[in-house]
Amino acid sequence: MKNFFDKLLKLDRRILFLLVVFVIVFPIFKPLKLPGIKITDAVKGVYNTIESLPENSVILVSFDFDPASKPELYPMAVAVLRHAFKKNLKVIGMTLWATGPGIADEIITMTAREYKKEYGKDYLYFGYQVGGYAVITGMGTDIYKIFSKDAKKGSPLETFPVMQGIKSLKNFAYVIDFGAGDPGIDTWIAYGADKFGFKLGAGCTAVNEAPTRPYLQTKQLTGLIPAMKGASEYEILIKAPDKASAGMDAIGLGHFLILFLVILANVVLIVQKYLLT
Amino acid sequence: MDFTAILGAWIAVGLTLFILSFLYRDNPLFKIAENLYIGIAIGYIFSITIYNVWIPKIYQPVSNRVFTSLSNWVPWVSKFVTPAGDAGSLTPLFPAIIGISLLTRIFPKISWISRYGFAFIVGYGAGLAIPATVATMFIAQIEGTIQPVFKLASGGAIDLSGPALWTSFSAILLCLGVIVTLFYFFFSLEHGKISKKVTKIGIYFLMVYFGAAFGTTVMGRFALLYGRFFDLYTYRTSGYYHATPILILLVLIFFFVYFGKSRKTSP
> Is B9 found in the same domain as B72?
yes
Q: In angstroms, rounded to a whole number, what is the distance separating the alpha carbons of residues A162 and A123? A: 7
Delimit the domains of chain A by residue range.
2-30+250-275, 41-241
Domain span including residue B193: 158-234
Contact between A40 and A233 (Cβ < 8 Å)? yes
Note whether B222 contacts A24, CB cutoff 8 Å. yes
Residues of chain B neighbouring A24 (CB-CB closer than 8 A): 222, 225-226, 229
- A window 201-230, beta carbon within 8 A of B: 205-207, 209-211, 214, 217-220, 226-229
CA distance B86 to chain A (A): 11
Is B228 at the interface with chain A, CB within 8 A? yes
Selected residue of B128, B224, B226, B244 to mutate for chain A interface (largest A Cβ count, 10 A):
B226
Q: In angstroms, rounded to a whole number, what is the distance separating the alpha carbons of residues B152 and B64? A: 65
In a domain, B152, yes or no: no
| Pairs from A208-211 (Cβ < 8 Å, separation ≥ 24) | A208/A179, A208/A180, A208/A181, A208/A184, A209/B216, A210/B209, A210/B212, A210/B213, A210/B216, A211/B213
Q: Look at strands A90-95 and A123-128 and give their pairing.
A: parallel
* Cβ count within 10 A of residue B221: 17
Note whether B48 contacts A99, CB cutoff 8 Å. yes
| Confidence (pLDDT) at B96 | 92
Give per-residue pLDDT as tens, B149-201.
777 777 778 877 888 888 888 888 988 999 999 988 888 878 788 888 999 99
CA distance B193 to chain A (A): 32
Give per-residue pLDDT as tens, A107-151.
999 999 999 999 999 999 999 998 899 999 999 999 998 998 899
Give per-residue pLDDT as tens, A168-177.
999 999 999 9
| Band of residue B239 on the pLDDT scale cut at 50, 70, 90 | very high
> Is B201 found in the same domain as B168?
yes
Note whether A247 contacts B44, CB cutoff 8 Å. no
> Is B261 found in the same domain as B217?
no
The total number of structural domains in chain B stands at 3
Note whether A218 contacts B141, CB cutoff 8 Å. yes
Chain A residue whose CA is closest to B49: A98
A5-14, A43-52, A213-222, B52-61, range with greatest mean pLDDT: A43-52
In a domain, B153, yes or no: no
> Is B243 found in the same domain as B227?
no
Q: Tell me the average pLDDT of chain A.
A: 93
Chain A residue whose CA is closest to B230: A28
Q: What average pLDDT does this structure show over B111-121? A: 93
> Is B180 found in the same domain as B244?
no
Superfamily of domain A41-241: MTH777-like (3.40.50.10160)
CA distance B182 to chain A (A): 16
Is A34 at the interface with chain B, CB within 8 A? no
| Confidence (pLDDT) at B83 | 62
Chain B residue whose CA is closest to A196: B132
Give per-residue pLDDT as tens, B28-65.
999 999 999 999 989 998 998 898 888 888 998 898 88
**DSSP state, residue B186:** -
H helices of A115-242, in order, are 133-141, 143-146, 185-188, 194-196, 209-212, 214-217, 227-237
Looking from the CA of A113 toward its CB, the CA atoms found within 13 Å total 6
**Does residue A256 surpass a pLDDT of 70?**
yes
Chain A residue whose CA is closest to B234: A28
Chain B residue whose CA is closest to A253: B222
Note whether A243 contacts B52, CB cutoff 8 Å. no
> Is B108 found in the same domain as B186?
no
In a domain, B178, yes or no: yes
Note whether B128 contacts A214, CB cutoff 8 Å. no
Note whether B219 contacts A24, CB cutoff 8 Å. no
> Is B129 found in the same domain as B201?
no
Nearest to B141 among A14, A17, A214 (CB): A214
Is B87 at the interface with chain A, CB within 8 A? no
Is A153 at the interface with chain B, CB within 8 A? no
> Is B171 found in the same domain as B240?
no
| Band of residue B85 on the pLDDT scale cut at 50, 70, 90 | low
Q: In angstroms, rounded to a whole number, what is the distance separating the alpha carbons of residues A124 and B1? A: 27
* Cβ count within 10 A of residue B235: 23
CA distance B41 to chain A (A): 8
Note whether B48 contacts A98, CB cutoff 8 Å. yes
Is B133 at the interface with chain A, CB within 8 A? yes
Note whether A134 contacts B228, CB cutoff 8 Å. no
> Is B252 found in the same domain as B230?
no
> Is B109 found in the same domain as B74?
no
Side-by-side strand order, sheet with A174-179: A123-128, A90-95, A58-64, A174-179, A200-204, A223-226
